[in-house]
Amino acid sequence: MRNDATKRLMWSGLVAGLGALSSLAASKLAAEIWRRVFHEDPPE
């Protein structure tokens, strides 16, 4: 893995993957908070 282009591609993939996972986690957490506060499902 001495190729800089490969390392950059792997880094970009890692950042994108972690960003997607954190976005999903934030959405689920926000929905759970909404349900507990308003006792209903969040708006679509």
Which residues are CB-contacts of 41 (< 8 A; sequence separation ≥ 6)?
31, 34, 35
Q: How sure is the predictor about 41, in pLDDT bands with cuts at 50, 70 and 90?
A: very high
Across residues 23-42, what is the average pLDDT? Answer: 97
- For residue 7, give both structure tokens: 């390392």
Q: Above 70 in pLDDT, residue 32? A: yes
Please write the tens of the pLDDT for every residue from 19-30: 999 999 999 999
Q: Above 80 in pLDDT, residue 2? A: no
Across the chain, mean pLDDT equals 95
pLDDT on residue 35:
98
Question: Measured between alpha carbons, how far is 34 from 37 in angstroms, rounded to an integer?
Answer: 5
